[in-house]
Amino acid sequence: MISAYYFGAISLILIGLYAILTKRNLLKILVGLSIMETGVNLLLISVGYVSGRTAPILTEGATPQTTVDPIPQALVLTAIVIGVATTALALTVAINLYEKYKTLDIEKIRGLRG
Amino acid sequence: MMQYASLLIALPLFSAFLVPLIKRAGKKVILYYLSLVTLIQTGIAAWVFKEVYTSGKPIIVIAGGFKPPVGINLYIGHFAALFILIIAVVSFFMAVFSIKAINVDPIDKYAMLFLLLMLGATGMIATGDIFNLFVFMEITAISAYALTGYNKTGEASEAAMKYIVLGGIGSSFFLVGIALLYGSLGTLNLAQIAMLASKINPTVAQAALALLVFGLAVEAELFPLNAWAPDAYQASPHPVTVMFSAFVVKAGIYAMIRIVYLFKDTQAFMGILNLLLILGTLTVIIGELSALRQTNVKRMLAYSSIAQVGLIAVGFGVATPQAVDAAVFHMLNHAIVKTLMFLAVGYVAVTFGSPHMENFKGLGKRMPLTAFAITVGAISIVGIPLFNIFWSKFKLLLAALQVGKTGIVALILGASLVEAVYYFRLLHLMWFEDGKGEKIEEDLALGIIMLLLVALIVVIGVYPDFVWGIVQKASADLYNVAQYVKNVPLLQGVSP
Amino acid sequence: MVKRVLAIILILITGYWLANALAQVPFGADKMLVGKYYLENVKEQTGAVNAVTAVVVNYRGLDTLGEVTVLFIAATGVAALLWRKKRERTAKSEGSVVLQTGSKLLLPFIMLFGAYIFIHGHLTPGGGFPGGATIATAFLMLYLAFREYEIPHNVFEPLEGLAGMGYVAVGLIGLIIGGYFLFDWIWQTWQLGHANIGRLFSAGFIPIIYTLIGLKVGTELTGIVDNMVKEPKEGGQ
């Protein structure tokens, strides 16, 4: 049996994937992408968690024996920024697409074929 | 002194951040500045290449002075030195090409993205840390998204959107793979992962590797995740297309192979090799067949490029030392030939407005030098003897025969046959059909670049031994994982 | 309909497979290897009490340089893709009096708070990225409140570039002084602030780098907002 935290993270990833695969509206697809990224970040954080320990800031009596792993938190910081960057660019491209095709329905945006 | 190899990363970054300050000087100045920076980068890369190949030892750049696995290290071995040099040289050529080819505003942003694309690919090949690899992959990918959509036409935006969605899925998979590896080993350093690989639970290792392979398959253009590639190649500015084909794909496939080969001694390895073989084979078949029915030459070349990458993946999937040698050789040859082809086709498209088949009618009379370059490239790709790709395809064939995989032999021969059909159709169009229009004065700088590349193709084709020696060293760097682990000065005391 | 069923099947298979692998990675167990080394040596080697900050800026500094670059690419890419000859804001009405007064009144405080977050990155949760994002919200509020407002572009763009160059320059100084790119020369070579661990003037170059990152992130996010609220003017294509 896997833990509830892993389960939640995987569920978010799969929900995001489902949205990307089935939705027709471009913005919904991008929302799906963001949900997926959130799930991944949660998964990374929960991999680094150690039961019963506190945040890795070594003041006020916290010692290396009472804190969780700092690396996944640093990784997630990076991953979040990268997610923001991707989302910003994706929205920009969506703006350009809307300007050209006057729709965000991916079934109707079909310039490239073959 | 060796630590100064970190300038390979620092220089493009610093120059990209400098662009907002010098952009008032004008458009042309920025493009000349771009050429200058890439030229300096080429100089540094050449120095690194010389150091690595004369000393025979890799350069380990330690960031922040913390020894790995505590800090991040760059590993510039024989393979990385060779491909960083290729990246720098191709970037320099494309910076020169950009002066002629880029007319869409804003040029200053183009220059920054161009430099950062080069930086990302360099970092992907040089890094020795799996999460750092992810960061550099995202630098490459995000600057590639922006450059794909740079022309701001409907097609360009659509291609960029496809690329972003697939790239987003890929990077999520990659991160989940990292989470699995980190969760079971507690380290992110590639050398230490290789050292501890046998300690991972086989189920976890297999899942993590499959996720990492799928994540990198977007950049490496392997079958289920390469839907973006033909669109992006077609719609992006011409110099950027060259960069995609010449080194962005190569960086992706290198990263994939490096990670997969770390697990060479584990049970999971065989399963992943089969996955690579299947993905590679499908990529070749679908790429070649799609190339047959294209009327846009740039798109046709894009499919051909995808198919070649499939062949490289198949070579790595066979995973004998000979096959790895051949695959690395093919990577090198393909980078040279596709730089030439996309450059020439891009030049034609800049001159006549589009790379449609129509514009290639009678090209032999109108732009003889460019037509000659395309001809040499096409003949080489098909695999005619005395041209460079013949040797890499031939070695790949031999390697496949050695392990008795006749299916791969058939695949290579079949692919060459299909390539012959569509490339000779193009050649026929260029030399034996009459087009309208006058003879055109060809650009001197581009002519020199094309002639240089043609010379390189023929020299490697006639006398392959010298380059083959370099390639063998580079591929040993990939294949010999034990040596790789030994080369990285891991900090004592940080081990389970 | 067929597409949905296929998607659901694919997702269930992926989910099962992921769960199967993750079951072998025990949740909540102490799996640290390199992490333990960081926790034990962080104070002495970097002077920061916030281990995450030390990992981000010192131990894995190259990642952070890359991360800054990624955001820079995004800001550049957004500007490149939305570039038109003429663009203008198309908001129909001004913000209400409350919004206008409030945004003016809060502006200095929000900026101060952002600066506090990134300057204290080595002591408290936070750092350059949250601090920069906080600063960007101050400008976002000005955009919401005033129809005509625009950031001073000729200040913001050079500042963005200068902050990035500053980061690389700090790294290169480390290369010259200490022999390694991104080497913490202030803490390890000059040994400044060793008596101050846990107070503001410690942790070597972390506050400097976080200030640079904060400025850079603030200007970049503001630039993205600025690009996205403007629309092409008629005939300006």
Position B17 in a domain: no
User: How sure is the predictor about A33, in pLDDT bands with cuts at 50, 70 and 90?
Assistant: very high
Report if residue B293 sits inside a domain: yes
C11: amino acid identity, one letter: I
Backbone angles phi, psi at B61, to 5 degrees: -95, 125
Interchain CB distance below 8 Å, A71 and C74: no
Touching check for C169 and chain A: CB below 8 Å? no
Q: How many domains does chain B have?
A: 1
A111 close contact with B: CB closer than 8 A: yes
Q: Is C24 part of a structural domain of the chain? A: no
pLDDT higher than threshold 60 for residue A113 = no
Q: pLDDT confidence of A57, banded at 50, 70, 90? A: confident
pLDDT, tens digit (0-9, with 9 covering 90-100), for B420-469: 999 998 999 888 887 777 788 888 889 999 999 999 999 999 999 999 99
Residue A48's pLDDT band (cuts 50, 70, 90): confident
Say which amino acid occupies A16: G
The minimal CB distance from A90 to the residues B138, B164, B188 is found for B164
Establish if B367 belongs to a structural domain: yes
Q: From CA B60, how far away is CA B57, in angstroms rounded? A: 9
State the pLDDT confidence band at A1, using cuts at 50, 70 and 90.
low
Q: Which pLDDT score is estimated for C236? A: 43
Residue B343 counted as domain residue: yes
Whether C52 and A77 lie within 8 Å, measured CB to CB: yes
CB contact under 8 Å between A93 and C49, yes or no, is no
Rounded Cα distance, B261 and B255, in Å: 10
User: What number is the average pLDDT over the span A33-47?
Assistant: 93
Predicted confidence (pLDDT) per residue in C46-75, tens digit:
888 888 888 888 888 889 999 999 999 999
Nearest-Cα residue of chain C relative to residue B133: C63
Pairwise CA distance, residues C71 & A84, whole Å: 8
Contacts of A22 in chain C (CB under 8 A): 3-4, 7
Q: With CB atoms and an 8 Å threshold, state whether A71 touches B178.
A: no
- CA dist., res. B19 & res. C80, Å (int): 14
Q: Quick check: is C21 in a domain?
A: no
Interface of C with B in 97-156 (CB under 8 A): none
Contact at CB, C174 and B9, closer than 8 angstroms:
no
pLDDT in tens, C74-91: 999 999 998 887 777 877
Asked whether the beta carbons of residue A21 and residue C3 sit closer than 8 angstroms, the reply is: yes
Instruction: Pick the residue of B116, B131, B143, B165 with the most A CBs within 10 A to test the interface with A by mutation.
Output: B165
Provide ipTM, 2 decimals.
0.94
Interface mutation vs chain A, best among C9, C56, C221, most A CBs within 10 Å: C56
Does residue B98 contact residue B443 with C-beta atoms inside 8 Å? no
- CATH code assigned to A4-50+67-101: 1.10.287.3510
| Contact yes or no for B125/C59 (Cβ under 8 A) | no
The first and second tokens of residue B414, run together, are 């079949």
Share of chain C above pLDDT 90, in %: 26
Q: Rounded to 10 degrees, what is the CA torsion of B150, B84, B124, B475?
A: 130
Distance of residue A20 Cα from the nearest chain C Cα, in angstroms: 10
Q: Is A76 on the interface with B (CB under 8 A)?
A: no
Q: How many domains are there within chain C?
A: 1
Residues from chain A that touch B299, judged by Cβ atoms under 8 A, are: 114
Q: Which parts of chain B have pLDDT scores under 70? A: none
Token pair in block for residue B495 = 């081990």
CA distance A47 to chain B (A): 6
A-chain CB neighbours of B159 within 8 Å are 112
**Most A-contacting residue of B151, B175, B193 (CB-CB within 10 A), to test interface:** B175
How many of the other CB atoms lie within 10 Å of CB of C154? Answer: 9
Task: Out of A94-108, B198-212, C187-201, pick the least confident.
Answer: C187-201
In chain B, which residues have their Cβ closer than 8 Å to the Cβ of C168?
10, 13-14, 17
C120-164 residue pLDDT tens? 888 888 888 899 999 999 999 888 888 888 888 888 888 888 999
In a domain, C25, yes or no: no
A-contacting residues in C 84-143 (Cβ below 8 Å): 123-125, 127, 129
- In this complex, do C224 and A95 lie within 8 Å of one another by their Cβ atoms? no
A69:C31 CB<8 A: yes
What's the gap between Cα B110 and its chain centre? Answer: 20
Residues in B closer than 8 angstroms to C28, CB to CB, are: none
CA atoms within 13 A on the CB side of B433: 15
Q: What's the rounded Cα separation, in Å, for the pair A23 and A27?
A: 9
The nearest CA of chain C is from the CA of A76 a distance in Å of: 10
Q: Is B451 exposed, middle or buried (0-12, 13-18, 19+ CB in 10 A)?
A: middle
Q: Is A57 helix (H, G, I), strand (E, B) or coil?
A: strand
d(CA A95, CA B53) in angstroms, rounded, equals 49
**Domain ranges across chain A:** 4-50+67-101
Contact B133, B127 (CB under 8 A): yes
With CB atoms and an 8 Å threshold, state whether C19 touches A70. Answer: no
B vs C, Cβ pairs < 8 A, gives: 184
Nearest to C81 among A18, A85, A93 (CB): A93
List the domain range (segments joined by +) for residue B447: 267-485
Lookup result for tokens 């051949």: B326
| Domain housing C104 | 47-232
Considering only the beta carbons, identify the residue of B13, B66, B160 that sits closest to C168: B13
Q: Name chain C contacts of A91, Cβ cutoff 8 Å.
A: 228
Find all residues with CB under 8 Å of B198, minimum gap 6, and list them. B265, B266
Distance from CA of B258 to the nearest CA of C (A): 19
CA atoms within 13 A on the CB side of B468: 16
A80 part of contact set with chain B, CB < 8 Å: no
Threshold 0.90, pTM exceeds: yes
Contacts (Cβ under 8 Å, ≥6 apart) of B432:
none
Measure the CA–CA gap between C90 and A78, rounded to whole angstroms. 35
Please give the C-alpha separations between residue B396 and each of B42, B389, B466, B477, C236, in angstroms, as whole numbers: 30, 11, 18, 18, 55
- Collapse the DSSP code of B13 into the 3-class scheme (helix H, G, I; strand E, B; otherwise coil) and give the result: helix
CB contact under 8 A, C228 and A13: no
Structural contact between residues B123 and C66, judged by C-beta atoms closer than 8 angstroms: yes
Q: Shortest CB distance from B150 goes to which of C20, C80, C171? A: C80
Q: Which residue(s) pair with B75 in the sheet?
A: B60
The confidence band for A50, taking pLDDT boundaries of 50, 70 and 90, is confident
pLDDT at A26 over 70: yes
In one-letter notation, the amino acid at residue B468 is W
Q: Give me the pLDDT at residue A114, please.
A: 41
**Helix-strand-coil split of chain A, %, nearest 5:** 70, 5, 25
Residue C4 resides in a domain: no
Chain B residue numbers with beta carbons less than 8 Å from the beta carbon of A30 are 165
Per-residue 3-state assignment (H helix, E strand, C coil) for chain C? CHHHHHHHHHHHHHHHHHHHHHCCCCCECCCCCHHHHHHHHHHHHHCCCEHHHHHHHHHCHHHHHHHHHHHHHHHHHHHHHCCCCCEEECCCCCCCHHHHHHHHHHHHHHHHHHHHHHHCCCCCCCCHHHHHHHHHHHHHHHHHHCCCCCCCHHHHHHHHHHHHHHHHHHHHHHHHHHCCCCCCHHHHCCCCCHHHCCCCCCCCCHHHHHHHHHHHHHHHHHHHHHHHHEEECCCCC
- Residue A71: its chain B contacts at CB < 8 A? 182, 188
